[in-house]
Structure 1
Amino acid sequence: MVGLLALAVAAAFTGAAVYVSVAEQPARLGLDDQALLREWQPSYKRGAAMQASIALIACVLGLIAWWLTGAAAYLAGALLIILPWPWTLLVMMPTNRTLEAMDVETASPQARSLIVKWGRMHLVRVALGALATIAFLWALHLP
């Protein structure tokens, strides 16, 4: 049951990440520079808190499933679903901090280029979530 919960939570993480990349990001890029930054700033804060929590929960559930079953695929899923944390902190954070510090009223084309860059970096989070989901699904089907 814990492994199934890990799968469900990892799939929720992945679904949220996919939504950001295929719906929210393209929609925000259709806005002018000022509105683009105005939308990104609160969206990022809310999304980061939500996705970080979901990743942590899925990781803990995956570790518990691994501990209970010994299936290495649960350990792999747990590691993959927590990797967006260091990716975000080490790679994405400089861009995030720059965008968070920008004044919406004086937004420039630099904001747009940074948000485009942010969107490309966010695809790594999508990939890690998908790989974790696949690992948990694989673990559930092991004998």
Structure 2
Amino acid sequence: MLALTALICAALFAGAAFYVAFAEHPARMTLDDGAALAEWKPAYARGTIMQVALAILGGVLGALAWWRYQSNWFWLAGGVVLLLNIPYTFAAVWGVNTKLKAAAQGSAETRALLSRWGKLHLVRVALGLIATGLIARGILP
């Protein structure tokens, strides 16, 4: 049950990150700079809560499944990969997020920051998909 719940969390994380990267963010980038920034700010605030919760819950559950059954390193590896989203965000994305939160509507820097944010977000997609694959592999016979 622990591994299955970890898989669900990882899949939800990956799906949300994928949606943002390939649907929401490209649509946002069709807007003018001020509107794109105005849309990014509340979407980021709400998305952060969901993505952090899924990363922590899925990561901890993957590690707990490995610890509980002492048999499947895929669960631990998937949990660790999912948790890597948190230090990655602090190390690579935090500066861009801070600048975007402080940016004035439609500043010259806005478009470049949003574009950079979209590229950085692709790593979250990859980490989510890898974590999902690892945990799923651990569940398969």
Q: TM-score, normalised by structure 2?
A: 0.96
Please give the secondary structure, in 2, of the residue aligned with 1:61.
helix
Structure 2 counterpart of 1:119 = 118
* TM-score computed with the length of structure 1 as normaliser: 0.95
Residues 12-47 of structure 1: per-residue CA shift (max 9 Å, x gap): 000000000011001000000110110011111111
Q: How does 1:7-22 map to 2 (within 5 A)?
A: 7-22=7-22
Q: Residue 33 of structure 2 aligns with which residue?
A: 33
Q: Distance in 2 between matches of 1:102 and 1:134?
A: 37
Which residue in 2 is equivalent to 1:53?
Answer: 53
1:44-90 Cα distance to aligned partner (Å, 9 max, x none): 11111110011101011101100112211111001000001001011
Distance apart, 1:109 and its partner CA? 3.1
What does 1:51-130 align with in structure 2 at a 5 Å threshold?
51-70=51-70, 71-104=72-105, 107-130=106-129
Q: How many residues align?
A: 140
AA partner of residue 136 (structure 1): I
Q: CA RMSD in A?
A: 0.8
Identity, % of aligned positions: 44
- List, as ranges, runs of 4+ consecutive aligned residues in structure 1 with deviation greater than 2 Å: none
After superposition, give the CA deviation of every residue in 1:77-115 in whole Å (9 maximum; x if it has no partner).
0100000100101110001000001122xx223101110
Runs (5+) with no aligned partner, structure 2: none
